[in-house]
Structure 1
Amino acid sequence: MPVFYDQLNRAVDLPDIPKRIISVVPSQTELLFDLGLDDKITGITNFCTHPANKTRSKTTVGGTKKLDIDLIKTLNPDLIIANKEENDRVQIEELMNYFPVWISDINNLQGAVEMINSIGEMLDCKDKAETLTSSIIHQFDQLKPSPLKLRVAYLIWRKPYMVAGSDTFINSMLGQSGLTNAFDLSRYPEVNSDMLINARPDVIFLSSEPYPFAEKHITEFKVIVPNAKIILVDGEMFSWYGSRLLLAPEYMSGVIGAL
Structure 2
Amino acid sequence: MRVVSLVPSLTEAVAVTVPGILVGATDWCTHPAGLAVTRVGGSKYPDLARVLALRPDVVLLNVEENRREDADALIAAGVPVWVTYPRTVSHALTELGDLLAALGATGEPEWLAAARHAWATLPAPADTPRAVVPVWRRPWVVLGGDTFAGDVLHRLGVRNLYAEHPERYPRPGLTELRDRQPELVVLPDEPYRFTADDGPDAFPGVPCALLSGRHLTWYGPSLAEAPAVLAAQLGRRLTHPG
Would you call these one fold, judging by a TM-score over 0.5? yes
Instruction: Report the alpha carbon displacement of residue 219 of structure 1 after superposing the two structures with TM.
Output: 4.4
> Do structure 1's residue 108 and structure 2's residue 52 form an aligned pair?
no
Hey, what's the Cα distance between the residues in 1 that align with 2:111 and 2:159? 28
Give the structure 2 partner of residue 7 of structure 1. none
> Do structure 1's residue 245 and structure 2's residue 216 form an aligned pair?
no
Hey, what's the Cα distance between the residues in 2 that align with 1:258 and 1:250? 13
Give the structure 2 partner of residue 124 of structure 1. 104
Q: Secondary structure at the match of 2:107?
A: helix
Give the structure 1 partner of residue 240 of structure 2. none
> Do structure 1's residue 34 and structure 2's residue 16 form an aligned pair?
yes
Instruction: Report the alpha carbon displacement of residue 126 of structure 1 after superposing the two structures with TM.
Output: 4.2
Instruction: Report the alpha carbon displacement of residue 256 of structure 1 after superposing the two structures with TM.
Output: 4.2
Give the count of matched residue pairs.
Answer: 234
Give the structure 1 partner of residue 190 of structure 2. 209
Normalising by the residue count of structure 1, what TM-score does the alignment of the two structures yield? 0.85
Instruction: Report the alpha carbon displacement of residue 243 of structure 1 after superposing the two structures with TM.
Output: 1.5
Q: Is the 8 A contact 1:182 1:200 kept in 2?
A: no
Q: Which amino acid aligns with 1:29?
A: T
Q: Which amino acid aligns with 1:245?
A: L
> Do structure 1's residue 254 and structure 2's residue 232 form an aligned pair?
yes
Alignment of 1:158-169 (within 5 A): 158-169=137-148
Q: Which amino acid aligns with 2:31?
A: H
Q: Secondary structure at the match of 1:128?
A: coil
**Which runs of at least 4 in structure 1 moved beyond 3 Å after TM superposition?**
256-259
Once the two structures are superposed, residues 47-97 of structure 1 have per-residue CA deviations (whole angstroms, 9 ceiling, x without a partner) of 10001122xx21111111101111111111011111111100111111112
Once the two structures are superposed, residues 161-207 of structure 1 have per-residue CA deviations (whole angstroms, 9 ceiling, x without a partner) of 11111211010001110111111322112121122023221111111
Q: Is the 8 A contact 1:145 1:256 kept in 2?
A: no
**Please, which of 111, 116, 134 is the counterpart of residue 137 of structure 1?**
116
Give the structure 2 partner of residue 197 of structure 1. 178
**Please, which of 191, 204, 209 is the counterpart of residue 231 of structure 1?**
209
Hey, what's the Cα distance between the residues in 2 that align with 1:243 and 1:153? 27
Once the two structures are superposed, residues 196-223 of structure 1 have per-residue CA deviations (whole angstroms, 9 ceiling, x without a partner) of 0232211111110011111211442234
Hey, what's the Cα distance between the residues in 2 that align with 1:182 and 1:238? 17
Q: Is the 8 A contact 1:95 1:101 kept in 2?
A: yes
Give the structure 2 partner of residue 13 of structure 1. none
Q: Is the 8 A contact 1:221 1:230 kept in 2?
A: no
Hey, what's the Cα distance between the residues in 1 that align with 2:127 and 2:88? 22
Once the two structures are superposed, residues 10-48 of structure 1 have per-residue CA deviations (whole angstroms, 9 ceiling, x without a partner) of xxxxxxxxx11000000010000121x231111101110
Identity within the alignment, %? 29
Q: Note the residue ranges of structure 2 that are not aligned, 5 or more in a row.
A: 238-242
Hey, what's the Cα distance between the residues in 1 that align with 2:144 and 2:182? 14
Q: Which amino acid aligns with 1:154?
A: V
Give the structure 2 partner of residue 86 of structure 1. 65
Q: Is the 8 A contact 2:40 2:46 kept in 1?
A: yes
Q: Is the 8 A contact 2:178 2:203 kept in 1?
A: no
Alpha-carbon RMSD: 1.5
Hey, what's the Cα distance between the residues in 1 that align with 2:235 and 2:52? 48
Structure with bigger helix share is 1
Hey, what's the Cα distance between the residues in 2 that align with 1:219 and 1:43? 38
> Do structure 1's residue 66 and structure 2's residue 45 form an aligned pair?
yes
